[in-house]
Structure 1
């Protein structure tokens, strides 16, 4: 019986570097099949798929945009394409190279019939800091996939990095040692769970060595949730390193008591601007049932709904949660708060961790407010209610 093809997903915001890595893998392993998608005509409703090997292009195909959604279109095209190639090219592993503005989490949601071996993100060291500090939207760089695609550059770059189990740091002979090391320090704090592989610092690339570090590693664990769900499942969301190195530092903030809605709302702009990247979960006193996602990048802030706290569910509905979430909640269960709690990670350049911690603590309920109980909390002014629906 022929073994199932293993799929390595290659993402990256710098298309030239990502393409160079993909071609290096083909050189190192002629048995590989490379699948890529061209979005240059996506606003005309067309996505072009190319399949190639080291010997050249073996097929081109076109697919129409589904519901105006690029991620939906790729998902609907990728699954049948990869399954078909697995049958037609038995014993050939596959590299799926994503377009620059596509986030790998969109592909990871595909059914388990596929064996994802690793999620690799290629980062161009020279442009990393500029992208993570950029306030540009994808539209500003003509990379938006649809009229309603309002994602920011920093947001997309951060998500591509955070989802990876392997980071390829594409350097340049012109890039100084300090800048190379700063990029590595920044990537380590953004995704401490990923293996870093550095290439491109010299005039040549060791294709065989690169392939050995990227292919057939088995690094992808499908049980690990995407970034914003990690804390709920008990997985780390970052590291606490106040001192840092090469100007890059990071901090974790955790609290069992809830945020005061008005004070948190008043501080949002400052909190979003303080760090390069913020992520995690929180709870607000006036919203005791809902776990709220926090995601900040490029000075922008996104809040979202992570679902209900287990403490807000009857016990007979706990089986709706994953085993890891139930175990995590049980291990840290509080007799008053249950599994409710704030867990936030921040990464920055010269981040003033003392000031940020003080700001966050100042937004929590004070002792006197806490003592008044949940009935009193529900009557607090809640500006979030005007803009967000957590139901």
Structure 2
């Protein structure tokens, strides 16, 4: 299909965890899609044999001879097969005629990476336009993981906690299809929807059963906006809001001291007119920032017993004994991941440190510890902010401990980029893995 004189082809990305009902939803969509639209389907499965593609192909052969199915197997289009994914959709656009492309991503795919593949591939971006990113959620499984805190043994195949995958798939989408709602009670459904809206307050949420959804809300709708979706996750909204409040406080302080109203954090000030308190998105949030490291033993104990009212937490940590690297903290449900984010500027050679600081004149810098800091954001419902802050403060090094030899501490936290620390409170077990 030549697109030289036509508009880009809209792309619907259908994501969701294993067993959420993506294939059932896709088959229902194809069966009930308008006959005026020719739909191409790309199905990705992690197995060597693409079972989902076979199921879709069988369905569309029976219902719609105009639908073509292309499969990518034995890998994930958001990582190992990303290049092949780009080549395949370009080839589709140049060799076949169709009006809409629907991509059913594997259950382990990160929709953000799938979307970026379309944007990064210049040829793909020429032929296609991301139209909507849809995440299908198994309401019963989501309730078990995020509301009931029940033990769920399924893993994603690459050591990523299931709760983290579920959270990421909800956080990067513009439409959530809450499927299998018939398997939970009305009160449980209210709790599930509340958590979903906390994770991604800007997405539309549709309740469905057995994958039955109106095709008009899934294809050619023009809903996707990269900037909105990229920054729409609840924890990002909360962090941005708290940062704005900090910047405004700093600006007021500068004004009161006769600094002419100059805002030293002007890199944050361009897009904050639309920000609202996180409570308006149905969540409670807490920003926790300190310029003192955590004691590794006490932090391990805290992460092993995270308060039940916390649904999601993300951010950077400074842990004593790990002075070289900033550590990512990624908490979803009952599961915590800690890995290496990158090097603190304070641990760089002097010439690199100088250029780094010159490029970031607003960077907070301590004369002794440089840019090392703790910067975390927590979201949940009715968070006990005082209790959480106090318990985290108890994990910090004391004044006396600041003068100790930190290398003597028992320290399970990653010291290399290839390592990550994973804890699942359901099975009360820590595990250090090499990635």
Q: CA deviation at 1:389?
A: 1.8
**2:374 matched residue in structure 1:** 342
Q: CA deviation at 1:215?
A: 3.4
**1:129 matched residue in structure 2:** 143
Q: CA deviation at 1:303?
A: 0.7
Q: CA deviation at 1:240?
A: 7.6
Instruction: State how far apart, in whole Å, the 2-side matches of 1:326 and 1:100 are.
Output: 43
Rg: which structure is higher? Answer: 2
Deviations 1:148-200 (A, max 9, x none): x33332222122112324323336467655433322221121123x3123232
Verify the 8 A CA contact 2:294 2:319 in the aligned structure 1.
yes
Cα distance change, pair 230–86 in 1 and its aligned pair in 2 (3 A): farther
Q: CA deviation at 1:319?
A: 12
Instruction: State how far apart, in whole Å, the 1-side matches of 2:404 and 2:175 are.
Output: 44
**1:104 matched residue in structure 2:** 111
Bigger strand fraction? 1
Matching residue within 378, 381, 392 for 1:360 = 392
Matching residue within 354, 364, 367 for 1:333 = 364
Instruction: State how far apart, in whole Å, the 2-side matches of 1:298 and 1:17 are.
Output: 22
Matches within 5 A, 1:250-261: 250-261=285-296
Cα distance change, pair 137–102 in 1 and its aligned pair in 2 (3 A): farther
Verify the 8 A CA contact 2:346 2:371 in the aligned structure 1.
yes
Q: What count of residue pairs does the alignment treat as equivalent?
A: 361
Q: CA deviation at 1:283?
A: 1.4
Cα distance change, pair 314–4 in 1 and its aligned pair in 2 (3 A): farther
Verify the 8 A CA contact 2:317 2:326 in the aligned structure 1.
yes
Q: TM-score, normalised by structure 2?
A: 0.66
Verify the 8 A CA contact 2:241 2:278 in the aligned structure 1.
no
Verify the 8 A CA contact 1:34 1:95 in the aligned structure 2.
yes
Matching residue within 187, 190, 200 for 2:199 = 190
Matching residue within 105, 129, 134 for 1:120 = 134
**2:300 matched residue in structure 1:** 265
Q: CA deviation at 1:284?
A: 1.9
Instruction: State how far apart, in whole Å, the 1-side matches of 2:210 and 2:71 are.
Output: 36
Which consecutive residues of structure 2, in runs of 5 or more, have no partner in the other structure? 244-274, 418-435
Deviates more, 1:311-320 or 1:111-120: 311-320
Q: CA deviation at 1:75?
A: 2.4
Q: TM-score, normalised by structure 1?
A: 0.72
Verify the 8 A CA contact 1:250 1:345 in the aligned structure 2.
yes
**1:7 matched residue in structure 2:** 11
Alignment root-mean-square deviation, CA: 4.5
**2:175 matched residue in structure 1:** 166
**1:150 matched residue in structure 2:** 159
Cα distance change, pair 222–262 in 1 and its aligned pair in 2 (3 A): same
Deviations 1:229-272 (A, max 9, x none): 969x9798999868997xx7543323233323333234331238
Verify the 8 A CA contact 2:143 2:188 in the aligned structure 1.
no
Q: CA deviation at 1:88?
A: 2.4
Verify the 8 A CA contact 2:86 2:121 in the aligned structure 1.
no
